[in-house]
Chains A and B, each alone.
Chain A
Amino acid sequence: MNKIIKSALESIKDIKDGDTLMLGGFGLCGIPENLIFALREKGIKNLTCISNNAGVNDFGIGLLLQQKQVKKMISSYVGENDLFERMVLSGELEIELVPQGTLAERIRAGGAGIGGFYTPTGVGTIIADGKETKIIDGREYILELPLKADFSLIKGYIGDTSGNLVYRKTARNFNPMMATAGRITIAEVEEIVEIGILNPEEVITPGIYVKRLIKGEHYQKRIEQKTVRKV
């Protein structure tokens, strides 16, 4: 089974206006850079983007915000992007904030066929407003529902031609759960290898979740906060 698509643009050919996308990454770490550039080039609009963050002004999802391609963001933290702030204040962009662990678990639930889960996170806060609550073993929990997407756009480190993926360091973050929660998951990787090369014991995302695989042509891998030790 060969899932390799030649170009990022071709891999997103059936993403259309108004679709819901999941985009992997934490800050600018482990984001699908090449697929985001393809989304920008194709100019699809009215997207709902589920992603922990919203990039910075001129990179990551920020590139889609610049072109006004995003209608709504579902994120846990959007503080690094002042373009984002202006668009929310002017009403051009809708934002749903979700606690980070709840966001990760809602995505996991979406991919795992779970209809919802009770979590203690957000009890007694505005996050609990309008949500069902339940006392379990004397503690209060709120019901959170799963998240799914039309397409998940994720970033792996190495993939094999069957779609098995491994990640690198903290660039894993939201990518494995998102791989499971998209109706169609498109993965970009830095290197594609033949089947049998990856150690099955070390595969993090089994190939069943990955419908399309591209080799990212360019990686900037920008660093948001370069912090070094004084020697």
Chain B
Amino acid sequence: MTLLTREQMAQRIARELEDGFYVNLGIGIPTLVANYIPENISIVLQSENGLLGIGPFPIDGQEDADLINAGKQTITTIPEASFFSNADSFAMIRGGHIDLTVLGALEVDQEGNLANWMIPGKMVKGMGGAMDLVAGTKRVIVCMQHKNKAGESKILKKCSLPLTGVKCVNKIVTDMAVLEFTKEGLKLLEKAPGITVEEIKNSTEADLIIEGEIPDMIF
């Protein structure tokens, strides 16, 4: 069984982007999505610390301490960029003006609940902007490994960890599959090449809707 790499997951998520989307990418694998934006569409990336219009990373020597993304990485801006305060940034997010956000997760459950900020008993680093993003963004895609390091499913019947948001996830892209929340429940849409539906079922605690032939992911 060959699981997808981080880059392949990012490539698959990039196919969810539509021309004209304003997008907020979380830290980690979601950030990699920016490397795979299709050439024929135009996307504007938002950074919750107060920038609309993130550009590529700077050339060595041209980094600017006053210009960072939410992951505190040095960045550049695109020509149509604008700067604003965190209050304005989260008005933009909470107000439903951002089309899509991509976030990592510790757990997702079959109700679409998300847990990605806290493990009781371990040091709590904080939720940052995640709770606001999932409460306000039009579409939420979770990007994560299908199973945790202990080999247990991260897609559960019910989240066990403290939640980030309730019924907020639209789609999950993992290293094994693409799944979508529908009115009927969590539906298996695509499988990673070389992975069988049986393997996905065995790796998923949540109830899955599996209808017909499940196609391979296209990157």
Contact residues of A with B, CB < 8 Å?
26-30, 52, 75-80, 85, 88-89, 95, 97, 99-105, 107-108, 119-127, 157, 167-177, 204, 221-229, 231
Contacts and interface: CB of A to CB of B under 8 A. Distances in A.
A100 B128 contact: yes
Given A121-B135, A122-B135, A124-B163, 16 more contacts: A52-B86, A77-B127, A97-B127, A99-B127, A101-B90, A101-B129, A105-B91, A121-B131, A121-B132, A169-B67, A172-B84, A225-B73, A226-B74, A227-B63, A227-B73, A229-B60
B125 A77 contact: yes
20 contacts: A26-B50, A29-B68, A76-B128, A76-B129, A78-B125, A100-B48, A100-B128, A105-B90, A108-B87, A125-B131, A125-B165, A169-B77, A170-B50, A170-B51, A177-B86, A221-B66, A223-B63, A224-B72, A228-B57, A231-B59
Interface string B137-163: 000000000000000000000000011
B212 interface: no
Nearest to B127: A99
B86 A173 contact: yes
A195 to B, nearest CB: 24
Given A170-B83, A172-B50, A173-B86, A221 B65 contact: yes
B134 to A, nearest CB: 9
Given A101-B94, A170-B49, A228 B59 contact: yes
B41 interface: no
The 5 closest A-B pairs by CB, nearest first: A101-B90, A101-B132, A124-B166, A79-B125, A221-B65
Contact of B128 (A77, A85, A107, A108): A77
Given A79-B126, A121-B136, A100 B64 contact: no
The main secondary structure of chain B at its interface with chain A is loop
Interface size range of chain B in the complex? 35 or more
B11 to A, nearest CB: 18
Contact of B63 (A80, A175, A226): A226
A124 B59 CA distance: 43
A88 B107 CA distance: 25
A96 B87 CA distance: 19
Contacts of B77: 169
Contacts of A169: 51, 64, 66-67, 77, 83
B162 A104 contact: no
Interface string B79-121: 0000111110111011000000000000000000100000000
Contacts of B49: 26-27, 29, 170, 173
A160 B86 CA distance: 23
The listed residue with most A CB atoms (<10 A of its CB), out of B48, B87, B128, B166, is B87
A170 B162 contact: no
Given A26-B49, A121-B94, A125-B162, A229 B58 contact: yes
A137 B65 CA distance: 43
Contacts of A157: 66
A99 B131 contact: yes
Contact of A89 (B64, B93, B123, B128): B123
